[in-house]
A and B are shown apart, each in its own frame.
Chain A
Amino acid sequence: KAGVTQTPRYLIKTRGQQVTLSCSPISGHRSVSWYQQTPGQGLQFLFEYFSETQRNKGNFPGRFSGRQFSNSRSEMNVSTLELGDSALYLCASSLVLAGLQETQYFGPGTRLLVL
């Protein structure tokens, strides 16, 4: 079974631009979560989607948004990029098991550099 895939793997943008990152979950997984990883803050939760609805959101400004499609693929968008948005953006997928603990599987990430 193929793992979580993320595209692109690397991106260079300038301040003020916007960016869209894509994530394809493991086949059969309905939940997609996004995390930002930086050396200073570590791994921080951005948001989670399943059934095309945002279910939970972390403490990030409204410039960070996302969506999920009917095939469970997800995109996240960052508008008006700032230097501090430079990070590794990770996507994780899981089965949705209400009332049970879910295992999240991560993709390789998209490395975003904002100049």
Chain B
Amino acid sequence: GENVEQHPSTLSVQEGDSAVIKCTYSDSASNYFPWYKQELGKGPQLIIDIRSNVGEKKDQRIAVTLNKTAKHFSLHITETQPEDSAVYFCAASPSREVNSGGSNYKLTFGKGTLLTVNP
């Protein structure tokens, strides 16, 4: 099955600095890579995602890059702010297969990165 490794497990930056979180995956069938932000007491919230036919995607201060050959993808947050402090999770999933009744479909998550942005 799929295995997703995420590094680092904790990351502390000064406000205004950039933060980078990296993930690797093992299953070449994975072609969708979302990133979630989880604040204390809340469920994970999707912040950005990337599909296998795209190498990079950007949304304001957040960007994600994907290298399918190397099986790794990264989250980049620029101009960090204290409200960016949270746990960030990467994940990977395949497309749902029609013939199997969709039995292949699920998200596999990394272990998470606790990001702390110091004012």
Binding site for B on A (CB under 8 A): 4, 31, 33, 35, 42-45, 48, 50, 53, 55-56, 58, 90, 92, 96-109
Residue B45 interfacial (CB < 8 Å): yes
With A45-B108, A50-B102 given, name 4 new contacts (CB 8 A).
A99-B95, A102-B105, A103-B46, A105-B46
Question: Is the pair A56, B102 in contact by a Cβ cutoff of 8 Å?
Answer: yes
A-B pairs with beta carbons under 8 Å apart, 20 shown = A31-B105, A42-B110, A42-B111, A42-B112, A43-B89, A45-B106, A48-B102, A55-B101, A55-B105, A58-B106, A96-B96, A96-B102, A98-B96, A98-B102, A101-B95, A102-B32, A102-B93, A106-B36, A106-B44, A106-B46
4 residue pairs, one from A and one from B, having the closest CB atoms: A101-B32, A106-B43, A43-B109, A98-B98
Residue B107 interfacial (CB < 8 Å): yes
Q: With A and B bound together, what is the CA distance between A107 and B111 in angstroms?
A: 19
Binding site for A on B (CB under 8 A): 31-32, 34, 36, 41-46, 49, 51, 89, 91, 93, 95-98, 101-112
Residues of A within 8 A of B42 (CB): 108-109
Residues of B within 8 A of A50 (CB): 102
Residues of A within 8 A of B106 (CB): 33, 45, 48, 56, 58
Q: With A and B bound together, what is the CA distance between A88 and B111 in angstroms?
A: 15
